[in-house]
Structure formats: C-alpha cells, structure tokens
Amino acid sequence: MNMTNLDAITSTDQLPVQARTHWSASDIPSQHGRLAVITGTGGIGFETALALARAGGEVIIAGRNAKKGADAVARICADVRSAKARFEQVDLASLESITDFGTRLRSQHKSLNLLVNNAAVMNPPDRQETADGFELQFGTNYLGHFALTLQLLPLLCLGRDARIITLSSIAARNGAINFEDLQAERSYKPMRVYSQSKLACLMFALEFQRRSKAGRLGIASIAAHPGISRTDLLHNAPGRWSGTGMMRTFLWFLFQPASQGALSSLFAATSPLARGGGYYGPARLGGMRGAPAEAAIPKRALSLGNASRLWEISERLTGMKMLVPGPTEM
C-alpha cells in the first residue's frame, strides 16, 4: 500500500482487497500459555480482556480503581470458569505508580506476551494535571502508556511473539503535536488536546516498531482504534450533559457495542495477519464501525522527524529510556 495515499482511505470500498476482512472474535487463535496486560477496567479494555480469557489467555487488568477492577475480574470469571484473570492497580497519571507496577510485575513474571495500552481520559472541560504536573489527557493517554511500556519492556523482550497494542482514535485525524505547548498551558481546548494525545499514541506505536526492528527486539508494535463505540468514556470525562456526552446518550444507535469496538484491538493483538507497524480499525462508515481492517494513517503521524522529537521529549519528561536489561535489573 502506498503510504502517501493512506489518509485518503475512508471506507471499505477504498481499501485494497487484501485489507478487507470479516474477522470476528471467533477467529481469535488459542491464547493458552500467553500472558496479557490490558489497561482499563471497563469498555474496550474489559471486552479485550474477556475475549482473551475466553481464548485461554492469562489476563491482568490494570487500572486505578480497585473496586472496578475487582468487578471486571469477577465478571470475566463468571463468564469463563477456567479464567486466569486478576487485577493490578496502576495509576497512569502517576509515574511513581507506573514504576511500582512495573517493579511488581517484573518480580512476579519471567516474560510477557502482550501489552494493550488501552485506558484513556477524554475531554475534561477544564485543564487538569497528573501527579507529575502534566496536562491530564496528554499525561495519561500518552505519557503514562509510554512509561508503562518501557517499564514492561524487559518482560516483553522475553515473551514469545510479543506484541504491544496501542490504542489511538479516529480523533487523531484532526490531531497535531503542539511542540511549543505540549501541556496546553497557554491554551486549553479539550477536544484539541485529546486529539493530540491520541495522535501521539499512534506516533509512539509506529516509532516503537521502528526502534524494535532496528534493535532486533522481536516485539511487534501495532496501533488500533475502536471507531465510535458505546463505552462510558464520553459520559465519564466531559459529563453526561456535555455536547459529547449528550451525543452518546441520545444518539446511542450510531455507536457500535464495546465488544465490536474491541475487535480492532483483538485483531492487532492476536491475528497472524496483523503486522508490526500496522494500524487497524473498523472498516465501515469512515472507520466508525464494522469488522477490523487496515486503517488510514494520518499524514502527521508519518513524520519521522516529529516522531523522533516526541520520543526524545517523552524520555526527558518521564525520566525513562528504552533500555533492555534483565527483568529484575531495572
């Protein structure tokens, strides 16, 4: 596929034949013997964890809220009697919490097969900050997952057919990395900042793949987006009575179920057809719904210079670098 024409693709009819798919959860290959970490206790994250557990995988649901995490695990175990599922607490808005989480997992496991960077916050009406002083959406959606990935990298390097799946959004199409005001200190517009964070996630997935290949790490980094799905994200972040929250409430029929939205992540995480450096999302209605297929990569995500610059800034902000020691040495 010609990369320069990717952003012009908006529907299944425009996708090349080999990119079309009717892939569903029934196509997930056996996950027995594989360990996955999924961030987020509800919505797309929960459905991803549930499907992996149904396929025989061991899943760790990682999130901030212990009660929601326990509820998610209980629901999975009620659905899958033989499920190997547990909750681990991590706050993606705190570098200290992310470091503690990484330390725990490296002491508990010898390897990791799958990391799904899924959790997100969306459109808080007023600018908020993480525990480390980052703007909340950029700090949680992007920098938190950047740091988490580097913390778990030693385990991933030892995992068979290891994959990192990073969730972007169709909002990334309108995103731009404002290097002069990454933390939106001068001007905060919720949707613009959310779009920037999701563009950064996509750029991170692509840049990690380049670095993985150059370093011969054997880890596939793949991006995905869920289209427009019925989750609590729009309700919880901007509020039920905001413009986006009301759209979710009253135009619910335009949104596909979370289980359908999770298929893009699951395809990227499990399908032999998913490739490192790929980007997958729903095939229909301009990427809003449908079975997973190859998605259009916005031109702004393809700038190698901006990706390298963003990576270097992220290392400086988080204090973490792409080092690959043994699992107990970091």
Contact criterion met (CB below 8 Å) for 152 and 165: no
**Distance in angstroms (rounded) separating the CA atoms of residues 60 and 55:** 14
- 150 or 7, higher pLDDT: 150
Question: Is the distance from CB of 195 to CB of 262 less than 8 angstroms?
Answer: no
Mean pLDDT of 146-161: 97
Q: Could you tell me the pTM of the whole model?
A: 0.86
d(CA 95, CA 154): 18
Q: What angle do CA 85, 223, 260 make, to 5 degrees?
A: 60
1 is written with which tokens? Answer: 């596929």
Q: Tens digits of per-residue pLDDT, 258-316?
A: 788 899 999 999 999 999 999 999 875 554 656 788 999 999 999 999 999 999 999 99
For 30, residues 6+ apart whose C-beta sits below 8 A from its C-beta are 55, 56
- The reply to whether 279 belongs to the active site is no
The structural domains of the chain, with segments of one domain joined by +, span 3-227+262-318
Residue at token pair 């990119």: 19
CATH, domain 3-227+262-318, list 1.20.1440.20, 3.40.50.720, 3.20.10.10, 3.40.50.300: 3.40.50.720
Judge whether 125 and 239 are in contact, CB under 8 Å. yes
pLDDT band at residue 329 under the 50/70/90 scheme:
very low
- Dist CA 265 CA 271 (whole Å): 10
Residue 158, token pair as written in the block: 């030892």
Residues of the chain by 3-state class (helix, strand, coil), percent to 5: 45, 15, 40
Residues 38, 207: Cα–Cα separation, whole Å: 21
pLDDT at 230: 57
From the candidates 142, 194, 279, 280, give the one annotated as an active-site residue: 194
Mean pLDDT of the chain: 86
Nearest to 243 by CA among 173, 285, 201, 189: 189
Mean pLDDT in residue range 47-64:
98
Residue 323 binned pLDDT confidence (cut-offs 50, 70, 90): low
pLDDT of 37 higher than 70:
yes
pLDDT tops 60 at residue 250: no
User: What is the per-residue pLDDT for 114?
Assistant: 98
Residues 261-284 as b or e (16 or more Cβ within 10 Å = b): bbbbbbbbbbbebbebbbbbbbbe
